[in-house]
Structure 1
Amino acid sequence: MSPTPQERRAARHQADPNPPAVRRGPSGGRKKPITVDAIVSTAFGIIETEGYAALTMRRLAVALETGPSSLYAHVVNKEDLDELLIGRLSAEIELPEPDPARWREQLVGVCTRLRDQYLRYPGISQAAFAAAPSNLDTLRVSEGMLAIVLAGGVPPQVAAWAVDSLTLYVNAHSLEVSVANSRISRNEDGWVVGRDEMLQRFAALPETFPQTKRYAAELTAGTTTDRFLFTVNLMIDGLPHSQAEPS
């Protein structure tokens, strides 16, 4: 019986993740062998130039000058590729040694580094949605975040859900920014507007929107980073914790 996709993924943790593959065709040995690493690197190249939405197994096969069937000898399916992509980004994230006196600052730092990794590749955070992490590099980040939250004296169940919620927010924020940047790059001025135009639109609203008209400046204030840090800190500040912190 053939191994299941789950078994093939698990086997990667024990086996060589980059077994060489023979390249057939007129160019023979002049082509680089197909490996998991080559597949992932090529996928990142496609996302960087064309966006995550452009990444398909067929598009990837064309970039590697092979057929889709050759890829499936190394990658189970598109979902498996997504795990590898997020794992590669996660592997580059530095995790601090949990410090009870600085756990909030440390947690914000990890969230910020994760966001920065996602924003390097337009839309790639979409690959992390609705996926239970099984890649060891991805799990390393969630393990590190959990250790930081626990060091702050947060009860284990709350800490576990907090890590999930923070990760989900980082994913969603990164995706929204990527979508907005993509529209700007395509000159879709009708969909992405600046603060001045938003203020004008709010000012022109009928009187049935009194709060929006009155607080238009507040609603449109701040940079993308300001709003990101505000939300992450707001989520962290809401966590119950039992360990005293220095004043």
Structure 2
Amino acid sequence: MPADPRDPRERRAARKKPITVERITDAALEVVATEGYDALTIRRVAALLGTGPSSLYAHIVTKDDLDDLLIGRLYAEVTLPEPDPAAWREQLAGVYTQIRDLYLKYPGISRAALAMVPTSLETLRVGEGILAILLAGGIEPRTAGWARDALSLYVGAYALEQSMVRQRRRQENPEWVLSQEELLARFTALPAEQFPQTRAHAAELTSGTGPDRFAFTLGLLLNNLGRAAA
């Protein structure tokens, strides 16, 4: 006879499942996916696992540890190409686009990557892969290291802004806090004597999608790196 999940004994057995790093990471991702990154705490993760915070301390001690687990889990999905000196810009754009898309799946999760010292092997694997691509492109090591930091910061900030916009507008896929049409109307209604440039170029200022602007900014950074290498 199959077990009845409503039976208190069955619920107690489920709660006694060992607390592992995998289960902690799964629960943390569930919190972020359903409630947003702001809701993520050790206490909330413990509650989702049906236990108390002290049960998690064999694996994590602080919120920083949770952040490291989360980013490590996401970065495990990143595919790294074999560095190609002839295509290093395209390779970097591809890697950072993967990272952007992973961040966007979980609202606000890119905050976990900001100001974090990575210890997860997956996070370090991706950092090593990005560095290898930069060096293959002829970028001097210090410049490559600083460029990696700047690119990662931009991608994290872009994803964070997108998650904040979605939260404010309460829609699934908005890219602007206001619609482009409303922004255009506001810019063109500004006093001409105070804002001549904004009025004259309002259409250009409000043009493009989020992905368009993302690709544009990555291109600026990577093209300048190319000139430095040359």
Superposition TM-score, scaled by structure 1 size: 0.84
Instruction: Tell me what 2:200 maps to.
Output: 214
Instruction: Tell me what 1:172 maps to.
Output: 157
> Aligned runs of 1:83-94 on 2, under 5 Å?
83-94=68-79
Deviation at 1:182, TM superposition (A): 1.6
Q: Secondary structure at the match of 1:65?
A: coil
2:37 to 52, 56, 62: 52
How many residues were matched structurally? 216
State the alpha-carbon separation in 2 of the partners of residues 138 and 217 from structure 1: 40
State the alpha-carbon separation in 2 of the partners of residues 235 and 141 from structure 1: 19
1:62 to 38, 41, 47: 47
2:130 to 145, 149, 172: 145
Q: Secondary structure at the match of 1:113?
A: helix
State the alpha-carbon separation in 1 of the partners of residues 211 and 79 from structure 2: 20
Change (3 A) 1:112 1:74: same
RMSD value over aligned CA atoms? 1.8
Q: Secondary structure at the match of 1:134?
A: coil
Instruction: Tell me what 1:121 maps to.
Output: 106
State the alpha-carbon separation in 1 of the partners of residues 119 and 30 from structure 2: 24
Instruction: Tell me what 2:14 maps to.
Output: 30
Deviates more, 1:228-237 or 1:129-138: 129-138
Deviation at 1:29, TM superposition (A): 2.8
State the alpha-carbon separation in 1 of the partners of residues 229 and 13 from structure 2: 60
Partner deviation per Cα, 1:39-76 (whole Å, 9 max, x = no partner)? 10011011101100011111111111111111112212
Partner deviation per Cα, 1:76-97 (whole Å, 9 max, x = no partner)? 2110110010011011100000
Q: Secondary structure at the match of 1:205?
A: coil
Partner deviation per Cα, 1:173-192 (whole Å, 9 max, x = no partner)? 000001111222279x9x92
Instruction: Tell me what 1:199 maps to.
Output: 184
1:224 to 210, 218, 222: 210
State the alpha-carbon separation in 1 of the partners of residues 191 and 125 from structure 2: 51
Deviates more, 1:82-91 or 1:131-140: 131-140
Looking at secondary structure, tell me which structure has more helix per residue: 2
Partner deviation per Cα, 1:160-199 (whole Å, 9 max, x = no partner)? 1111100000000000001111222279x9x921000001
State the alpha-carbon separation in 1 of the partners of residues 125 and 21 from structure 2: 20
State the alpha-carbon separation in 1 of the partners of residues 59 and 118 from structure 2: 19
Superposition TM-score, scaled by structure 2 size: 0.90
Q: Secondary structure at the match of 1:61?
A: helix
Structure 1 gaps, min length 5? 1-24, 243-247
